[in-house]
Amino acid sequence: MSKDLHISIMSDDSFSRNWMSLLIVRDWRTRLMLEMDCQANPYLRISQAGLTCDFIVVDLDSLISNPGLLTTLNSQEIEKKPIKLLGVSSELETRFLKRMNPELLAGYLLKDEIGNSLAWALTFGADNKTVFTPSTLDIAQNLGITLINPPIVLRKRAHHGITDRQKDIAKMAIVYSIGRRDLADELKISDQWSYSMVSELYESLGLANLASGEETSLMLLQDDPKITRKLNKIIKDLGHSKKARDLETLAFHLLTLPIIED
């Protein structure tokens, strides 16, 4: 992937829309271009705003309030490079796979199965893969869905190498980027202790070793060349920086790193 990915999102649910936008904005490789509800014609909105867009992430939970959404999504006039569509939902929605133009399909993810790895899924989609989580690939195969690009299956990582307390801290301080003082208030601890707890989390993740080019951390126990290649690019861009914001960004990519299933 040689450039930032331009992403637009569609959802009628504010919580889901905030979840998608947060993960896209926090990742170095993805740029959020437009947020829309599912009553809009996304292609018209993108055109009127004069924006470029590589992917539209569509919250399929919104289909219940807009049955005509899939018809709208299929109305794209395909030129040299179509805007690809990535569906996400809480429950399996077979209509998306059955009805979508294969030329537009970037993949389909269950929210619980992908967790916070949405931006990673988009970067694999940019590598000409059709991205699934385990349940959605099963459905696609059972339906005999035609795929233009080969499938890749991602799911969220369990992070067994850090404590439950550190997982809570990671979610608040790194994934959701809550400030240290707000983190201290949430945990009912002192400001200084909140900084110390985040530093301990960084040590558990092996960030200092990663940033200096030394051995990889527990997060990289899955020695998959696709993951390693992408993560090495992030580390190279960061260089040897030990700035708090750069370390937090690297930690975000590690914590959202998915597992690739065979």
Residue 67's pLDDT is what?
Answer: 82
Triad 22, 23, 25: Cα angle to 5°: 65
User: What tokens does 180 get?
Assistant: 């240290």
Is the predicted pLDDT of residue 126 greater than 90, yes or no? yes
CATH of domain 5-155: 3.40.50.2300
Position 243 confidence tier, pLDDT thresholds 50, 70, 90: low
For the beta sheet containing 130-132, the strands, ordered from the edge strand earlier in sequence to the opposite edge, are: 30-36, 5-10, 55-59, 84-89, 105-110, 130-132, 151-155, 259-261
User: What tokens does 103 get?
Assistant: 């030329």
Residue written as token pair 């707000």: 182
Q: Where are the domains of the chain?
A: 5-155, 164-261
Q: By the 8 A CB rule, do 26 and 175 touch?
A: yes
| Torsion over CA: 203, 206, 210, 213 (sign) | positive
Write the CB contacts of 206 (distance below 8 Å, at least 6 apart in sequence). 215, 216, 217, 218, 219
Is the predicted pLDDT of residue 183 greater than 50, yes or no? yes
CA dist., res. 171 & res. 174, Å (int): 6
58: three-class secondary structure by DSSP: strand
% of the chain exceeding 90 in pLDDT: 52
Residue 100's pLDDT is what?
Answer: 95
Tens of pLDDT, residues 55-108: 999 999 999 888 899 999 999 987 778 999 999 999 999 999 999 999 999 999
Residue 176's pLDDT is what?
Answer: 80
194: three-class secondary structure by DSSP: helix
Q: By the 8 A CB rule, do 89 and 52 touch?
A: no
pTM metric for this prediction: 0.85
Helix, strand, coil share (%) of the chain residues, nearest 5 = 50, 15, 35
Tens of pLDDT, residues 208-230: 665 555 544 444 445 556 666 66
Pairing of strands 259-261, 151-155: antiparallel
